[in-house]
Amino acid sequence: MKSPPALLEPRGTAVLDDYIVDIAWAADGSRLAVAGGEGKVCRIENSSDALSVSEVGQHGLGALAVAWHPKQALFVSSGQDGELRLYDAIDGKVLARQRPSKSWTTHLTFSPDGSQLASAAGKQISLWNSQLESQHALPSLEATVAALGFDKSGRDLAAAINGGVVVHRLEGPRYPVRHYRWAAPCITVNFSGNGKFLAAGTQDGSVHFWYLATGRDSQMRGYPGKVDQLGWSGDSRYLATAAGDRVVVWDFGGKGPEGSSPQQLAGHTDRIECLAYQPRGNFLATAGLDWRLSLWLPGKFPAAIDAHLTDSEPSCLRWSPDGRFLALGERKGKLSIFELVRI
């Protein structure tokens, strides 16, 4: 077997007094924001060894999401108190607050150029400018938004709902809507980086994808449970999903995955809870209830090329936008940062 081309090198850890539900990286990988299930919002300096943590806010009984501006030193958090907050990432001060909805704002995502922030609360998607000033509420959807994602251009915003994926094209005086219907609760959605595919994972154990050019769709079944983790490789060739303790990778090269069998990568011994493909790269990280973090290079290696044990069940896994660092959050509050070191 070939020797692995890269390893995850532990860089630093911190223990937060909270359950880590979401992590957002600064564009340059210098800082992170963390949302805690019991309400804390923390800003963390990605220095080597001990990571310095500062608590910058509290969202009532629970924080739900964090998102970092792709270009500026700004980040946003939302929580069960109904608030959206914009922070200055340098000093941690709150710059703006909004309370757009009675429902929980569960999803936050910036457009790739940072000009727009999309938030979702219940069936309602709102668009904000980067200063969290003006709200533009899109027409209420027919079901609750379970996931949000921009395409690479920032022109299309996809929302996974019970009944498919709704894509708003954020152009012109009114935003045209396209509903990619599928009669199942879709709970996660990702555009491929090449703009050709839209993939969704469902509550009832399948992955559905659409060819954006034609609208033709396809279903991939056989999952033992809900599919809430999806990731595209940087070259858009592979779609990685988790099925129990297996990493299931569909190959979109050549004629595409239809009629083919996926690669099934074994290594975890319990349910995979987190899955993240390296942005613009081809390394895949997964973490499972076996308290193991694994690094894969699908298509090249059938086994994990590196693995680390965690201190409790993992709860969140995020690559820095440049693909150099990987942050792993755990249920008991431990945050670990690894650096991808090429050999």
Partner 1 sequence: MATTDRVPVTVLTGFLGSGKTTLLNRILSENHGKRIAVIENEFGEVGIDHQLVIGAEEEIFETNNGCICCTVRGDLLRILGQLLKRRDKFDYIIVETTGMADPGPVAQTFFLDDEFKQQFLLDAIVTVIDAHHIEKHLDEMKEPGEQVAFADVILLNKVDLVSEAELERIERRIRAINGTAKIFRTRNADVPIERVLDVGAFDLNRALAVDSAFLEPQYPFEWAGLYDLAAGRHELRTGSDAHEHHHEHHHHDENCDHAHHEHHAHDHGHHGHDHHDHDHDHAHEGGLAVALLTAGAGEPAAVIADNIEPAVRAFAEDGVQIDCGGTLKPATAPYRIDVGHDGSHFHIDIERAGRYVLVVEHAPIEFGLRIEGAKPIVERRFASHHHDEEISSIGLTDPRAVDPNKLNDWLSYLLKSRGADIFRMKGVVSIKGEPRRYVFHGVHMMFDGQLERPWPPGVDRVNTLVFIGRNLDRQELEAGFHSCFA
Q: Does 18 bind partner 1 (CB under 8 A)?
A: yes
Q: What is the number of alpha carbons within 13 Å of residue 63 lying toward its C-beta?
A: 28
Q: Does 19 bind partner 1 (CB under 8 A)?
A: yes
Nearest CB to partner 1, comparing residues 16 and 304? 16
Contact flags string 159-178 toward partner 1, x per CB under 8 A: ---x----------------
Report how far residue 148's alpha carbon sits from residue 165's, in angstroms, rounded to the nearest whole number: 10
Q: Does 120 bind partner 1 (CB under 8 A)?
A: no
Nearest CB to partner 1, comparing residues 21 and 56? 21
The count of residues in the chain is 343
Cα 103 to its chain centre, rounded Å, is 21
Contact flags string 208-247 toward partner 1, x per CB under 8 A: -----------------xx---------------------
Helix H or strand E encompassing 126: strand 124-128
Nearest CB to partner 1, comparing residues 19 and 252? 19
Q: Does 122 bind partner 1 (CB under 8 A)?
A: yes
Which residue from 13, 58, 80, 282 is in contact with partner 1, where contact means CB under 8 A?
80
Report the nearest approach of partner 1 to the CB of residue 339 (Å). Answer: 27
Nearest CB to partner 1, comparing residues 104 and 197? 104
Q: Does 297 bind partner 1 (CB under 8 A)?
A: no
Q: Where are the beta strands (DSSP E) in 27-83?
A: 31-36, 40-45, 52-58, 63-68, 74-79
Residue 168 — φ and ψ, nearest 5°? Answer: -95, 130
Which residue from 98, 106, 229, 233 is in contact with partner 1, where contact means CB under 8 A?
106
Q: What is the number of alpha carbons within 13 Å of residue 307 lying toward its C-beta?
A: 13
Nearest CB to partner 1, comparing residues 78 and 192? 78
Residues 6+ apart with CB under 8 A from 169: 155, 156, 175, 176, 177, 178
Residues 6+ apart with CB under 8 A from 138: 124, 125, 126, 127, 168, 175
| Region near partner 1 per CB under 8 A, out of 16-24, 109-117, 149-157, 189-197 | 16-24
| Region near partner 1 per CB under 8 A, out of 42-50, 96-104, 208-216, 320-328 | 96-104
